[in-house]
Structures are given as C-alpha cells and as structure tokens.
Amino acid sequence: MLRKALIITTLLAPFNNVFAGAIDFRVGSDAAELAFLTQNATFGYGGADIGFGVLINEEDDFIANASILVSGSSKGDVKGLHFGVGVKVYAGSLDGPAAVSLDVNGGAIAIGGRIRYILPSKVPVAVLGEAYFAPDITNISDFDGLIEYRIALELEITPSALAYIGYRKLEVTFNDNVEYDVDDSAHVGVRFEF
C-alpha cells in the first residue's frame, strides 16, 4: 500500500511550464482511477494536454499511465467539435482473480485519439470518445498487446467542476493471445480544474 501511495504522489507532482491543471477521479463497480491533468503551452502550435494517472481494481491490478494529447477545434461550421491525437504510456502489474493468480508485469506505448462534441444547448453537455491501441511491437515484458476505449457523457456543473458518466474497456493481451480485462465497466467521475 505504501508503494502505491508513493507512486501516486510522484505521478501527481506538478511540472514547470504548466498554466492549468485538473484532478480527475472516476470510480466504477470494479475499478477506480485518479489522474492529474495539465497543459503545456510550449509543445507544438497550440500546446498539449498532459496526463498522469493510476488505476487500481478489485483484483489488486495496478496500472500507471502517462499521456500527451495534441488537440484542437474543427475549422468547419461545427464549432463544438474537438479532435485530439496522442500517445499514452502504460506500466503495471496484473494479479488477476485469486483463483487465477496471473502475476503479469509489463508496459505498453499506445497511439490513440479523442473526439469531443459539445452539444448545442443551454445546458453545458458534451459527448466524449477516446481510444488507444498498443500492438505487440510496442509492448514490453509480459504484455503482448493493449487496447483501451472509453465513451462518456459530460455535464459542466460549474466552470471549474465537471461530472460525467461513461464506460471504459481496458484489455491487456499476454502469453500467446490470452486476453484479460483490467476494466470493463461503467463509471462515474468528477473533474476539478484549478
């Protein structure tokens, strides 16, 4: 437990050149994730969204992640549409159910993207979809592949607080195509900006 707390504290340490940040916390029936999100204005044309997170589930699986996503708005008539592409790095330890006892350790570098659409209404609501994929060639140690996708419906409570409901699937492949779901459930979450 002390090791997990130390890793979380290290991942959430702020970096220089940061001008905005947020804490995102989501819980589902089998998993919870805490993430620190920030932006860096010195990366690329419009800056980049940077994130550091830690996911744990009821099987004592543990996956840390770091991501960088460059995003922007559409140039067309759809002003509420935002796209992003980026890279996400995963590292973790999978124990699996007590009856199976996996003891799998590894990591992956995934490429992916996000699409977010702010609905044209008086209520500040948005629909979000994101997906990341890491083939065998970008995995290390025991991991042979990783895929993550998530959809969510977001509601802005205040300008600095967002609540959402969604669904995520995070699947790791190892040992000759054995597929294991680290998370495959609905979740609720909150994001606080500062």
SS (H, E, C) 119-168: CCCCCCEEEEEEEEEECHHHEEECEEEEEEEEEEEEEEEECCEEEEEEEE
* 48 found inside a domain: yes
All residues at 6 or more sequence positions from 24 whose CB lies less than 8 Å from its CB, including other chains:
33, 34, 35, 36, 37, 51, 53, 189, 190, 191
Give dist(CA 20, CA 160) in Å, integer: 11
Q: Report how many domains make up the chain.
A: 1
- Please report, for the domain that includes residue 113, its CATH number: 2.40.128
pLDDT at 20 over 70: no
pLDDT at 2 over 70: no
pLDDT of residue 18: 46
Of the candidates 136, 163, 146, which has an alpha carbon nearest to the alpha carbon of residue 112? Answer: 146
* 193 found inside a domain: no
Which DSSP helix (H) or strand (E) runs through 5? helix 2-11
Length of the chain: 194
Give dist(CA 194, CA 94) in Å, integer: 33
* 25 found inside a domain: yes
pLDDT of residue 14: 45
Domain that holds residue 143: 2-188
pLDDT of residue 15: 44
* 194 found inside a domain: no
36-63 pLDDT, tens digit each:
999 876 665 566 889 999 999 998 899 9
Q: Is 8 helix (H, G, I), strand (E, B) or coil?
A: helix
Output the six-digit token pair for 135.
Answer: 């083939």
89-144 pLDDT, tens digit each:
999 999 877 656 778 899 999 999 999 999 988 889 999 999 999 999 999 999 99
* 76 found inside a domain: yes
Mean pLDDT of the chain: 86
Give dist(CA 2, CA 21) in Å, integer: 26
CA atoms within 13 A on the CB side of 46: 10
